[in-house]
Amino acid sequence: MAKAVESSGELGTTSPRPLMRDLKAVGKKFMHVLYPRKSNTLLRDWDLWGPLILCVTLALMLQRSSVDSEQDGGPQFAEVFVIIWFGAVTITVNSKLLGGNISFFQSLCVLGYCILPLTVAMLVCRLVLLAEQGPINFMVRLFVVIVMFAWSIVASTAFLADSQPPNRKALAIYPVFLFYFVISWMILTFTPQ
Amino acid sequence: MATTAAPAGGARSGAGPEWGGFEENIQGGGSAVIDMENMDDTSGSSFEDMGELHQRLREEEVDADAAAAEEEDGEFLGMKGFKGQLSRQVADQMWQAGKRQASRAFSLYANIDILRPYFDVEPAQVRSRLLESMIPVKMVNFPQKIAGELYGPLMLVFTLVAILLHGMKTSDTIIREGTLMGTAIGTCFGYWLGVSSFIYFLAYLCNAQITMLQMLALLGYGLFGHCIVLFVTYNIHLHALFYLFWLLVGGLSTLRMVAVLVSRTVGPTQRLLLCGTLAALHMLFLLYLHFAYHKVVEGILDTLEGPNIPPMQRVPRDIPAVLPAARVPATVLNATAKAVMVTLQSH
């Protein structure tokens, strides 16, 4: 980002314009994920800032403040991080091997951005958990997580399906389904102590 | 040295054509023609100089006359300036050769196109292979065909991981999901890769006609039965139902694998050894996943909280006021763990 500022064209001024431009690009992609239409904005100018922000947010929120031991926080962050990124890499490699014509980073970008609905679900679950515990509490959380899980899959299908040969779309989408299922499971079974 | 002294008077710029023979020798693969120990060390490390050199060359387009002046000075400097340029030339050559080799090695080993033929499947093929994995073949007189693909087995292993995680949904206890995830992935992949390798080794001993890829594919598709059994029995916790499914579904997929192996092996002893081992490992793995895997998980949970607390009574020790509220989720959400405990205690 520092280089971008220096090369903004005006010598000697540190203008915040490229930072705002990048943030606006990330925000625009978030909007595209929330209202998935068939467009290739995510694919054309891909970036990995959005997935990084989402991944870090999710990993931070999935930590527990454990009363028993202090070292519960560290490994959980690292493991969520690793699971998300290795899952995304595996899906990308799989879709390339099936004959897809999407590039490596484009696919990572799409999968990362489509974690946004699940991050929203995590926030909602966190808020719901502040209320009293009970079966209704669990049902509400289950409903929210299922809806957001379906939203993630629909969003990523809208972007990824076009890059596959038409008869193999199901083969490429199935691992995406498993990936978001595992993340949803992590979100649903989270309880702060 | 003669080789360095001879063209000393000639080349000022140290350009390529003067050093044609020199370049060929370097490209030949590393046997240095020139004894570098006798080089003047004024230029320091030639490799580090390379970066600076390239940087300077880009900026020096405006300084063409300065470069010409430098060349004039070289005459006065004699050996010193010349040797500096020579070592830079050598470093440049070695850098290029090294870069070429590295990129060749990278494109050879990091090429995922090696795996591309194994993923060349259609959804209809995957579906039919999944169904066929539950149907034992009757003809064991001639070798049965095994499809050598890796997409189906890989997806089945990941599905098994997901099902194992789904069965572990106890949500009001302190769980390190990362450890559970690592255990699940390690167990499933370890079984698939490890048992395939072991049976392939046995097949090599017993002279069976099967390749490693075919063994991986066969065992991978055999996990389809495991997925079905575990998915059903993690949601319906009946003891007898599990045993029924274990025998029926597990047995069918094992019979299918056994029949394929028998059709590819000659000799009764070899057939018995190979198929007995595979059948035992496959059925025992399903038993393990249903019963002992829970124990492993309970063991992980116990090491976090102390060994003497039964899982059903995990209550916060310091906050008794929360106790009644915490009980309610225990009845709803811990149904899985409760049924497991009942099953374990009944043994």
A126 inside 8 A of chain B by CB: no
The maximal CA–CA distance of chain A, rounded, in angstroms, is: 62
B231 inside 8 A of chain A by CB: no
Convert B286-301 to b/e letters by CB count within 10 Å (16 or more is b). Answer: beebbeebbeebbeeb
B186 inside 8 A of chain A by CB: no
B181 inside 8 A of chain A by CB: yes
The per-residue pLDDT for range B118-151, each reduced to its tens digit, is 888 888 999 999 999 999 888 888 888 888 899 9
Q: What is the pLDDT of residue A35?
A: 82
Please give the Cα distance from B343 to B347 (Å, whole number). 7
CB contact under 8 A, B181 and A79: yes
Closest-CA distance, A68 to chain B, in angstroms, reads 8
Same domain, B157 and B250: yes
Indicate if the pLDDT at residue A129 is higher than 50: yes
CB contact under 8 A, B177 and A76: yes
CB-nearest to B171 from A72, A80, A189 is A189
Same domain, B154 and B211: yes
Look at B179 and A112; give whichever has higher pLDDT. A112
Same domain, B217 and B104: no
B contacts of A132 (beta carbons < 8 Å): 325
B159 inside 8 A of chain A by CB: yes
Q: What is the pLDDT of residue B30?
A: 45
The per-residue pLDDT for range B278-324, each reduced to its tens digit, is 999 999 999 988 876 666 666 666 666 655 544 555 555 554 444 44
Look at B73 and B158; give whichever has higher pLDDT. B158
Average pLDDT over residues B188-192: 95
Q: What is the pLDDT of residue B300?
A: 66
The per-residue pLDDT for range B242-265, each reduced to its tens digit, is 899 999 999 999 999 999 999 999
Residue A12 pLDDT level (bands cut at 50, 70, 90): low
Structural domain span for residue B236: 139-305
B contacts of A170 (beta carbons < 8 Å): 123
CB contact under 8 A, B305 and A68: yes
Beta strand ranges found along B153-222 (DSSP E): none
ipTM value, please give it: 0.83
Highest mean pLDDT among A80-84, A95-99, A122-126, B106-110: A122-126
CB contact under 8 A, A94 and B305: no
User: pTM of the full predicted structure?
Assistant: 0.67
Which of A142, A77, A188 minimizes the C-alpha distance to B172? A188
Same domain, B266 and B211: yes
Residue B152 forms part of a structural domain: yes
Span of B93-102, B200-209, B292-301, B312-321 with lowest mean pLDDT: B312-321
Same domain, B110 and B252: no
CB-nearest to B175 from A93, A168, A189 is A189
Same domain, B108 and B176: no
Same domain, B301 and B170: yes
Same domain, B108 and B240: no
Size of interface A-B (CB pairs under 8 A): 96
Q: What is the pLDDT of residue B52?
A: 63
Indicate if the pLDDT at residue A21 is higher than 60: yes
Closest-CA distance, A20 to chain B, in angstroms, reads 32
Residue B53 forms part of a structural domain: no
B contacts of A178 (beta carbons < 8 Å): 155, 158-159, 162
Closest-CA distance, B123 to chain A, in angstroms, reads 6
Q: What is the pLDDT of residue B16?
A: 46
Residue A123: CB atoms within 10 A of its CB come to 15
Query: Helix/strand/coil (H, E, C) string of B233-267?
Result: HHHCCCHHHHHHHHHHHHHHHHHHHHHHHHHCCCC
B contacts of A101 (beta carbons < 8 Å): none
Same domain, B216 and B282: yes
**Are residues A101 and A165 in contact, defined by beta-carbon separation less than 8 angstroms?**
no
Same domain, B107 and B169: no
Residue B67 forms part of a structural domain: no
- High-pLDDT (> 90) share of chain B, %: 33
Same domain, B162 and B300: yes
Residue B146 forms part of a structural domain: yes
B162 inside 8 A of chain A by CB: yes
Please give the Cα distance from B156 to B196 (Å, whole number). 15
Residue B69 forms part of a structural domain: no
Residue B324 forms part of a structural domain: no
* Chain B nearest-CA residue for A104: B112
Same domain, B103 and B242: no
Residue B229 forms part of a structural domain: yes
**Are residues B214 and B146 in contact, defined by beta-carbon separation less than 8 angstroms?**
yes
Indicate if the pLDDT at residue A77 is higher than 50: yes
Residue B28 forms part of a structural domain: no
Residue A104 pLDDT level (bands cut at 50, 70, 90): confident
Average pLDDT over residues A12-22: 72
How many structural domains are present in chain B? 2
